[in-house]
A = this chain, B = another copy of it.
Amino acid sequence: MSFTVAPPAPDSTPVDTDTAACCAPASREAIGAADAEKLARSLKAVADPARLRLVSLVAAHADEEACVCDLTEPLGLSQPTVSHHLKVLVDAGILTRDKRGTWAYYRLVPGALDSLAGLLAGL
């Protein structure tokens, strides 16, 4: 969604050519620093055992939505910790939060994981 793989910078930076020292030159453009940082931020959100299990637990639920009370016990973590991880996943655009009454229901953002996986495979 927000990741533009194409480099927005037309290159005021002279991409060298002078060295040609030990290796072959680049055949295509690599990822830009800004895109790398953005992609890394998204990957960091998923690169945690607890958060991976949270995503999996939410995806495994029958109607693909789950409340915190259902996620705390199978993880073996305290309720504040689970809330923290869920907030990270929501901020990263992986999950959505929907508070109905006393409970907060989380569900997967459709295509979010696939988008991440696609960007990773297309490096």
Hey, which chain B residues are within 8 Å of A59, CB to CB? 30, 123
The answer to whether A40 and B49 touch (CB under 8 A), given A70-B22, A76-B3, is yes
A84 within 8 A of B: no
Interface residues of A in 4-18 (CB under 8 A from B): 5, 15-17
> Complex formed: what's the CA distance from A19 to B55 in Å?
19
One complex includes copies of this chain to the number of 2
What residue in chain B is nearest A34 (Cβ atoms)? B49
What residues of chain A have their CB less than 8 Å away from a CB belonging to chain B? 3, 5, 15-17, 19-31, 33, 36-37, 39-40, 43-44, 46-53, 55-57, 59-63, 65-67, 69-70, 73-74, 76, 103, 105, 113-114, 116-118, 120-121, 123
